[in-house]
Structure 1
Amino acid sequence: MTVKRSLFSVLSMLFLTGCAAGAVFSAAVPSTAAPLPGTAETAGTPQPAGTAEAAATPAPTADAVQPPQGLVETGAAVLDYDEIRLIDYFREYQPYPDTDYYTMCRDGKWGLMRSDGTEVLPCRASEPLFECSWNAHHWHGYLDDLFGSPDYEAAYKAASQMLTESGDGRLCAEHDGGGYRQFVCLQDDKTYLYSGSMGPGQFNALTDDILRLFSGSANGLVPARDSAILQEGEGWVELDSSDQYVYRSKNGTTANDFNYTAADCFFDAPLAAAQREGKWVYLDTAGHEVTAPCYDGIYQPNHYTDEPLVFTRAAPLLSGYAVVTRDGKFGLLDSTGAELVPCEYDGLVWDGGTAWVKLDDGWHEHTIPGVTKPDPLADLPDSIVAPDTYPARTDAVFFMADADSTNRLNLRAGPGREYDILGKISSSSLRVYGYSSAAPGWALVRYDPLYDLPQFGWVSTAYLISAE
């Protein structure tokens, strides 16, 4: 199979432990595994399902769904949607998905909501909404049923204007490009990062920086496909690759004996999800599977199947927890592979700080004590000036650099021309994370080049145009 991955290609990874229909088991990690979180040292935190304390809790009755153990309800208004799902996102470019939004369903129609429960677009689309790969907050699928009709242009303009005025992006009907990043193992038994757009791409040897981003460690594991070079030219290579993923180290050493049909990177999480035998399993960073392959997909529906939609991707760990589903019921997995919230609920979504759980009367918002949504600037290098002003609601606002291949935009260490130039940006969408009250006209952005790693820096807003 020739590797020509499109906008919708996705990376994946990791390993095993107990989970069977109708029962919840604590993680059974092989004796060679490193100690995992959630042991006696965390006695003050909520106990995962499967412990003695959880086992003593009475099971929910058939008459009413009980509030989830280990979570605390916030008192927010109850939502009456049939389903709420994670927005499709592109794992190779977004270590942490855009969880400011969910797509939700009522009476078979889908819309868009903020993660705090605010409705952005009412339910009218035939399928879950999704974002462009790099131009996030550009929403696809909302008016697909009107495409080509006399009403389409007016409806598109009205919905886009509504989104723009509320600061929630805009509708997008066109293909916005994008690219792929994946790991491959070649005949020299070494692992490489292979990246490109729609056709042949470029190779990068696995540096410490690449491994730290994708695996959380300079000695980490990545999900790689065995590949052979078909042809190459100046600056590009075309590969023939297996459709199976194997977790490998930098030198190509395999982490376990399993092949996976889909696999996620760890990034900075202690677990990653991979698919085998048609089900999803979670692995730890040593390559041990800490759940059984028993979970179904959470997001990214297969648009080529009949209703009901079949969701094809497992959720990543966000702040140490991941939404999981089996036998049509949802729960919340912790970083040891145990179900903090057993798979007993008709719906559950989690943004890393709050969870919406579907109970008998609708969706209730909950928190996990002591767990907050991560700060996207927590790892901002000390060499880069931190902002003191932030976007009003979301942690990302989108702009397009008004530059071409001969006129690049300087990326600087601080908000002003007196700061060092860290790099030069080609035309690209930029995530804006903050501003400086002392230097109007400058923004702290994250730049995501196709053939290199993401980079923070400051840019002059005089050279930016709205990505609208």
Structure 2
Amino acid sequence: MKTVQKILLLAAMLVAVQLTGCAQTPETSQPTSEQEAASASSSLPESEPAPAEDVVLDYDEIRTIAVYSASPAVPCEGYFTMSKDGLWGLMRADGTELLPCVSAAPVSACGMEQHWIWGSGGNPLSWEEIEKLSEQLTASGDGSICPGHGGGGDMFFYNLDSEGRDPYALDASALRWYRMGTPGDVFPMEEELWDKYGLILPVFSAHEEGEEGDPAYPSEPVEDENGALYWYFCKDGSGLLIPGAKQALWFLDEELAPVQMEEKWAYVNRKGEIVAKAQYSPTWESDSFMEDTGPRYAACLQNGYAAVCRDGQWGLLNYSGKEVIPCEKQGVAWEGTNLWIKEQDGWHRSPLPE
């Protein structure tokens, strides 16, 4: 991890906390569209009933929510963050508005289940109003608003200085679990982490550093002869190298994962083969809790699909790398359960293409 990125991430975790792999997505945010919003005698915005199939949502953007239980972030299922006039709110995936569009930054979630980071960059509501909204979320089964706290997150790297490591072969004993935090620390890989994050982990190569009395931190990622900063390490001890990869995201339990090549994103399969060439733009996860700095990642697949953006137009990619909805739409949002497509008059909920 680059030094600047590490500093930004650790600073951000004072406000909130930051993964997953190809096994099972952490149960950070589960769909609750069947639940009714709790009633409250208040002038605050209340949850509206779930919209009918033909409802049109008048939002500028609808984005996947980033869950900061690890780095890279984990995509949220069951909810979206949406914007109007440059300000952001929270809605269920079925279109039910839960938090109004008043936050300067897209809504994200810390590592705690349904703990929403909303309004860190300035919020016109009073703390009493925010608390009331948080109580409404809890009553309707939609979590709560994060009050701000310290925390940590998980990431993984391959220790080039591991004692006994064969320099000419991959060695599972060189895989390290880096628990980020203030302070952070480095541990050997643990079996339960494979269960939590999956059988194929995005990693980077690094030299383990640390001084006496201080925790050991991974140093700058090491670029190999193929120009790759990130690659994948599999539980069976094999590795997947994607030449030129500048960032690698999660497979979760899916068939494909997004990989950044220069400024664009490609999708690779579980053999490390590129099945959708590097042509897609980032679609989710800003790098700031204080403002919208623009998306930084392409979408991970969720239940077999990912919303993709190419040349400013949106589409839907499936598990084989095919655009089942060509990149010709004004907007596409998908978080694993509900598909929304932006047309001239607004966002329409749509069935998945066969």
Q: So what's the TM-score if we normalise by structure 1?
A: 0.56
Encode CA deviations 1:377-411: one digit per residue, 9 max, x unaligned. Answer: xxxxxxxxxxxxxxxxxxxxxxxxxxxxxxxxxxx
CA distance in 1, matches of 2:298, 2:69: 11
Check if 1:127 corresponds to 2:105. Answer: yes
2:109 corresponds to 1:159: no
Paired AA for residue 206 in structure 2 = S
Q: Distance in 2 between matches of 1:331 and 1:230?
A: 43
C-alpha separation in 1, matches of 2:63 and 2:291: 18
Aligned residue for 1:141?
A: 118
Identify which of 224, 231, 239 aligns with 2:203.
Answer: 224
8 Å Cα contact 2:98/2:137 also seen in 1: yes
- In structure 2, the CA distance between the partners of 1:277 and 1:10, relative to structure 1 (3 Å rule), is farther
Partner Cα separation in structure 2 for residue 169 and residue 12 of structure 1: 20
Which amino acid letter does the alignment assign opposite residue 323 of structure 1? A
Shift of 1:183: 2.9
Distance (whole Å) between structure 2 residues aligned to residue 96 and residue 233 of structure 1: 33
Residue of structure 2 equivalent to 1:79? 57
The 3 A distance-change label for structure 1 pair 87 and 273 is same
- For residues 245 and 348 of structure 1, the distance between their equivalents in structure 2, rounded to whole angstroms, comes to 28
Distance 1:80 1:96 in 2: 27
1:183 to 2:157 alignment: yes
Q: Compute the RMSD of aligned alpha carbons.
A: 3.5
With over 3 angstroms needed to count, the CA separation of the structure-2 counterparts of 1:13 and 1:287, relative to structure 1, is farther
Q: 1:192 aligns with which of 175, 178, 191?
A: 175
SS at match of 2:240: coil
Deviates more, 1:349-358 or 1:229-238: 229-238
Q: CA deviation at 1:93?
A: 8.5
Partner Cα distance (2:123, 2:76) in 1: 27
Q: Do the aligned residues in 2 keep the contact of 1:323 with 1:331 (CA within 8 Å)?
A: yes
Shift of 1:339: 0.6
1:344-380 deviation per Cα after TM superposition (whole angstroms, max 9, x unaligned)? 111111122320111122111122267xxxxxxxxxx
Give the Cα–Cα distance (whole angstroms) in 2 for the partners of residues 278 and 11 of structure 1. 22
Q: Could you say what secondary structure the match of 2:88 adopts?
A: strand
Q: Which residue of 1 aligns with 2:146?
A: 172
Are 1:12 and 1:264, in contact at CA under 8 Å, matched by a contact in 2? no
Cα 1:353–1:172, aligned 2, differ >3 Å: closer, same or farther? Answer: closer
Following superposition, the deviation at residue 171 of structure 1 comes to 2.0
- 1:202 corresponds to which of 186, 204, 210: 186
Pairwise CA distance, 1:76: 3.6
Q: How far 1:114 sits from its partner (Å)? A: 0.5
Following superposition, the deviation at residue 158 of structure 1 comes to 2.9
For residue 253 of structure 1, report the CA deviation from its aligned partner: 5.6
Secondary structure of 1:89's counterpart equals strand
- The Cα shift of 1:319 comes to 1.4
Residues 299 and 312, structure 1, Cα contact 8 Å, conserved in 2: yes
- State the one-letter code of the partner of 1:314: A
Contact 1:194 1:203 in 2 (8 A): yes
CA contact (8 A) 1:13 1:247 kept: no
How big is each residue's C-alpha offset from its partner over 1:131-150, in whole Å with a ceiling of 9 and x where there is no partner? 11x22322223264248xxx
Letter in 2 for 1:320: G
Are the equivalent residues in 2 in contact too, given 1:232–1:238 (CA < 8 A)? no
What SS does structure 2 have at the residue aligned with 1:154? helix
Q: Map 1:251-290 to 2 at 5 A.
A: 254-256=239-241, 258-290=243-275
**Aligned-partner SS, 2:133:** helix
Gaps of 5+ in 1: 15-73, 371-468
Task: Output the amino acid matched with 1:367.
Answer: P
Deviation at 1:113, TM superposition (A): 0.6
Deviations for 1:88-110, whole angstroms, at most 9, x for unmatched residues? 12374899743211111112221
Structure-2 change in CA distance of 1:112 and 1:146 (3 Å): closer
Q: Match for residue 353 of structure 1?
A: 337
Deviation of the 1:273 alpha carbon: 0.8
Q: Kindly tell me: are residues 295 and 13 of structure 1, through their superposed partners in 2, closer, same or farther at Cα, counting changes over 3 Å? A: farther
1:403 alignment counterpart: none
Separation in 2, partners of 1:105, 1:336: 31
The residue matched to 2:135 in structure 1 has which SS? helix
CA distance in 1 between partners of 2:95 and 2:119 (Å) = 19
Q: Name the CA distance, whole Å, in 2 between partners of 1:303 and 1:267.
A: 24
**Worse-matched range after superposition: 356-365 or 222-231:** 222-231
The alpha-carbon distance between structure 1 residues 351 and 257, as it changes in their structure 2 partners (threshold 3 A), is closer
**Structure showing greater Rg:** 1
| Distance of 1:305 and 1:126 partners within structure 2 | 7
Per-residue deviation at 1:295? 0.9
**Take 1:263 and 1:13, find their aligned partners in 2: how far apart are those partners?**
11
Structure 1 segment 315-354 matched on structure 2, within 5 A: 315-354=299-338
**Cα deviation 1:201-244 (Å, max 9, x = unaligned):** 2332475x65565454xxxx432211112237799643324162
Gaps of 5+ in 2: 23-51, 223-228
Query: Contact conserved, 1:12 with 1:263, CA < 8 A, in 2?
Result: no
Aligned residues: 301
